[in-house]
A and B are shown apart, each in its own frame.
Chain A
Amino acid sequence: MDISMGYDASLLEALLQAMEQAHDELSAIKSSDPAAIGEMIKVRSIAKRLNEHWLPLLHRVLGCEAMTLYTSPPPDTTLFDQFLKLPKHSGCASSQSNGFLTGSGAAGAAGSWFTWPTSAHPWRSTIDPLAASDSAMTVDAAAFLGAWVTDHDGQYTEADLAFLQAQLARVETSSEFVTAFLAAISSSAFVDLVNELGTTQAEIRLGDLANGYGEQHPENHASIDHAVQHIATIIVTGQHEGVFTMTTAELSERLDPYPAALLVQQMHLDADELGALSVAIIRREPVESSYAMSFERSVSAAAVLMATILATVDGPSRYVVALVAADLPGQLITDPINRELSDRILFEGTRPDVLSAGEQSIVIPMLVDSMTQFIAWNPRPNPDPDRDVPSLLAMVMAPYLLQIFGPGSGTTRPGFDIDVDGRSLILNLIDQNPAMANYLAAERDQFALSFDEHLGHDFESDRQLFGDLALLLGILDGIYERAELASGDRARAQLALFWSVAAMAGLPLPTVGKLGARVGATGAQALMEGAGVGPASPHEARQKVTGDTDARSAVMASVIVNATFDAFVAQGRIPAASPRPPEPDTGADRVGLDYVGALSAWISEIEVDAETAAWLLVATTTFLSPHEAAKDSISSYDDDD
């Protein structure tokens, strides 16, 4: 099929004038005779067709220099001869199409083959308005499109965009078309095309926003989105066929940030490439693009790419890793173009289940350092009062408290490379920002995330897990204490965390639900509340807090023991007639020690094998001891102590 149209401008101008006169004549014909109604309708219909279709079309063709390709006389006489052989006034589109735009393919498209016969006036060629709607693609047509884009100058009109979208959609359907199109378009024209599309789309969207349409009129920029989508497919096909030699990174570097973002969005890249490209594009934006500085933050490369990152599997984590690799950990924090998207990427991209242990040890300390520095240098109200960086810091830290504040060794989570000063700085921030402690108290599920191993594998791994859980509870309690969280809130937060982690760790407890209801909601709750009397003085407060912690630890240990007891009875490892385990006496001076003693006595009473007995005792003692150790480690950073 042909997508091109050739014409003699002067003769077409004459046709236009004749058509205008014909229209005026037909419009002037009147008859009120009822017997002529049918004929008058016919006449008016023809006049209407001229006025509404053909006259505007002729005006458009004659007035649109931007769509005109070649105006030089034809050097190719072969084509001229072929043209002369075309049937005159055949009225048949297909017969005229034969020989039209004949040529030797893509190489000729941008060269001399596309030329027209001439006598007094040179012929011009342009894109045929009909071609966008009802034709199939050919290699020659694809080449012509490439040549047309190369020669295009200035803004694309609405009609141009609709045409481009339709034609690019046809080009992408075949590697032959893609090859012909790419061979006929210069790389700079390709870059200009994408830049032009992106700039036009930005203007349309900004106009929409300025007029209050928001995203309510997506059709305004749908043509561009589709055109960019087809271009992305053409690039991928061209790269595969070896006819598009620029890498996506090289191409995006030559593009303005916003158009580059639109293109990358449509490339369906894997998370690693998307992350690396996004870093490179977004870092250029504040300098090179005015869109990022406009009030509509959604019209920015960052907004486009961040939304794409969030929609891509592993996108957030790969982007965060790429940011850190580029030594730009603060890009999501210090000057985010889109806070909501940045926060979501931070949250989803720093979870333990999306970062390897090695990545965690590099990414998290750098992010934490970046955020602590930001908070230190921008005391609230900071330049962006809505930006609650302390809570963000708490969010990022939450699954990694063991690595940040833990002993560094002896747990399943090796410590991060954060020195004493760094940890002190974080704790001081917690002291000064109640929001951080509140987050750490409320978002208990984030801590449970750090426990990706389950109980029940073997004795040693279960002991390690209990040990880690106890450490974590101790760290949190130390943080709660520093933040002067109300004792009742602390107790509730710890118990809630305990149950979350127990569920996450998959305690091998068939009666865990029942036990949870009995001990968690009644027994343990009562024990907690009994231990949570408000302090009268700082000294009493410290004593009370210590007592509270001891009592809560003992209660939690008893929950483990009770649950395990039920599981072992069900498995036949403990006789069903055995007495139930003891419960801690929270009124005692040394709740934990007394509980361990009572538990030892109970174990010696029941008939269990040595391994079961050891499991019960070790689970309890490992739970109680590291808790205190971890809490002490937090206190050691306290300058006041």
Chain B
Amino acid sequence: MPAAPDTPDGLRSRAAALRKVALVLDAARIRSLYQRSGVDVWVGPTPSRCLDEMLTHRNSVARAADDLRRVAKRLDEQANQASAAIPKAI
């Protein structure tokens, strides 16, 4: 039975899941598509726009992965704080 999401275990579980997603994003082909969209493949207004867009997508996905890792780190910190607070309450 999964832990409640706001419990220390739940928070850590969420953080782990988010890191997995971030890893998937790191390895996603979208991040390398720009390398296949250059002037050695095609040239012209549309290819130029395509290359620009693939570069933008690469950066967006990279940022998304970084953001997910930051969120995961924050969740870990919240979990640690919550764990530290439980004995005091007892």
Contacts and interface: CB of A to CB of B under 8 A. Distances in A.
Nearest to B34: A89
Contact of A8 (B14, B29, B40, B75): B40
Interface in B65-90: 67-68, 71, 75
B52 A19 contact: no
Interface in B1-45: 14, 17-18, 21, 24-25, 28-30, 32-45
A36 B46 contact: no
Contact of B45 (A31, A38, A128): A128
A22 B42 contact: no
Contacts of A26: 28, 30
A12 B34 CA distance: 12
Contacts of A18: 29, 32-33, 36
A7 B60 contact: no
Most central of B18, B34, B75 by chain A CB within 10 Å: B18
Most central of B29, B32, B48, B53 by chain A CB within 10 Å: B48
Interface string A73-116: 00000000001001111011100110010000000000000000
Contacts of B61: 42-43, 46
B37 A35 contact: no
Nearest to B58: A46
Interface residues of A, number: 48
Interface residues of B, number: 40
Contacts of A15: 33, 36-37, 41-42
A130 interface: yes
Contacts of A42: 60-61, 64
A97 B45 contact: yes
A1 interface: yes
In terms of DSSP, what is the predominant structure of the interface of chain A?
Answer: helix
Nearest to B55: A91
A29 B52 contact: no
A135 interface: yes
Contacts of A31: 17-18, 21
Contacts of B64: 39, 42-43
A35 B11 CA distance: 11
Most central of B35, B40, B55 by chain A CB within 10 Å: B40
B51 A89 contact: yes
A610 interface: no
Contacts of B34: 89
A91 B51 contact: yes
Nearest to A100: B43
A294 interface: no
Contacts of B42: 5-8, 11-12, 15
Interface of A: 1-2, 4-8, 11-12, 14-15, 18-19, 21-22, 25-26, 29, 31, 33, 35-36, 38-39, 42-43, 46, 49-50, 54, 57, 83, 86-89, 91-93, 96-97, 100, 128-131, 134-135
Interface of B: 14, 17-18, 21, 24-25, 28-30, 32-53, 55, 57, 60-61, 64, 67-68, 71, 75
Closest 5 CB pairs of A and B: A5-B44, A7-B42, A93-B48, A22-B29, A39-B64
Given A15-B41, A88-B39, 11 more contacts: A11-B41, A15-B42, A25-B24, A29-B28, A35-B75, A36-B68, A43-B64, A89-B51, A93-B49, A129-B46, A130-B49
9 contacts: A1-B45, A7-B44, A8-B41, A22-B28, A36-B18, A54-B50, A88-B40, A96-B43, A131-B45
